[in-house]
A and B are shown apart, each in its own frame.
Chain A
Amino acid sequence: MALSNIWIVTEPSNGSLTTTSLELLSHARSFGANISAITWGGDAALAVVAGEYGATTLYDVGDLGGALPGVPVASAIAALIASVGAPDAVFISTSYDGRDIAGRLSARLDRPVLTNVTGLADDGGLVTEHPIFGGTQTVKARFTGEGPGIFVIRAKSFAAEASGGGVASVVAAPPGDVGSTGGAMITATHVEERVGPKLEEAAVVVSGGRGLGEADKYALIEETANLLHGAAGASRAIVDAGWVPYSHQVGQTGKTVKPTVYIACGISGATQHMVGMKGSKNIVAINKDPDAPIFQIADFGIVGDVHKVLPALIAALKARA
């Protein structure tokens, strides 16, 4: 059965759409279906971006009035389905708000979800790919019941490529009455300043893990990243320990990165971490344990103490500058 309609939840970000949203729009085009985007915030510029990446219609939920997006956006999608009919599939990003929207929509429509999707192909219906056990195996799955299928897709699973399409036509899609579920309101927003390139976009990522020993030693990671014009990342272990903010976390529950080179320092290579960085073009690992799993996927490994190797690396990079 050919796919005729796909809806993509596209998240607004600084006057455009998030990169993952653009990746989902781009991949949706490969199925030959009519593509509609769903967004919120009422920014007219988004219709240009959504159109450029292949959407013909942009449903705008409008100003959320400070509400967390999960409830109003899912409510708006459910209302749209009631009025214009269900699409074959809804694509949603694996993001904070995306997961909220997917959960709400799933329960409202009584439809299951497939999450952590990293591959999606049409084989007489959409077949998904999900990495399990640290990416050593891939599960393929499909929905067997009535649609729409709700797919929650990880960042960087597909390339974002503009199609050069014209401006999408904007249709208002109000959330309607959300009743007792709608009480979560944002009262203030805090942005943690970062220097250098964004973690997801940097060509070089230098990450630190438990092997650094203590929080203060993370400065070695930041200095190395800075000298290589890269971004500093972290394993879940040191984020959980409170050494660095969550926005630095690379892995299953953090960010997915695919830089030219990923330098893992004092990171043993828990499956949770490897899923987020094994797509890097080159991987360098520094770890004192010669049997650390990280070496199994590293192109270049140094068995050594990060407290000795990193200061020497910093000195060598400074000498070249």
Chain B
Amino acid sequence: MSTGVVDEAITYLNDPLSWTGPGGILELGREHLALTAAAVLVAAFVALPVGAWLGHGRRGGGVAVWLTNASRAVPTLGIILLLATAGLFGDGATVVAAALFAVPVLLVNTYEGVRGADASARDAAVGLGMPGRQVLTRVELPLATGLVAAGVRTAVVQVSATVPLAALAGGGGLGQIIALGMGTQRYGQVLAGGLLVALLALVLDGVFAVVQRLVTPAPLRAAARR
């Protein structure tokens, strides 16, 4: 069975028709990236201000960590399917579900980054007479960049892995290739789809590893590498 399937996958990936045209790999890949970007942006819009605010006030850390741990136990598939039964279909549901699961990691990293900002730097800023808001935006947030970037990297990879799950509920993106292949028992196509989704996640991880390094101030790089 196995060699036949591998051959089928190679044939599928070599066929120009699989790539171009409506529903082709290129279009689905673009859709996948757009959904990923939208979900991460939505999650960041919620998680970054809340995380920064909690970290600045040094409170609610327990809640943030608990939220992260609890979210691991919740099956993403169940939430996606429930959103669908609530009438939220297609791209909107995909973005909401993926964003929900990206919030905890962004929240915790922002919180830890801001809270963990060097205490003497913070004291110096307060001593200079900076109001709390400026301490946050000019001292704590710049010092937190590395950890926030690490959170964004994890969130991007995680969301790009959640988006294909939504294909089971009719969502778009590269997951459609897998869902369609399973539905029509074309297992070579399933294999090809799996490889494409895996490759996309690894490329995104690599790209954001570079971004993370670039935005982290040089003296903090050693500390951010964990």
Asked whether A and B interact, the reply is: no
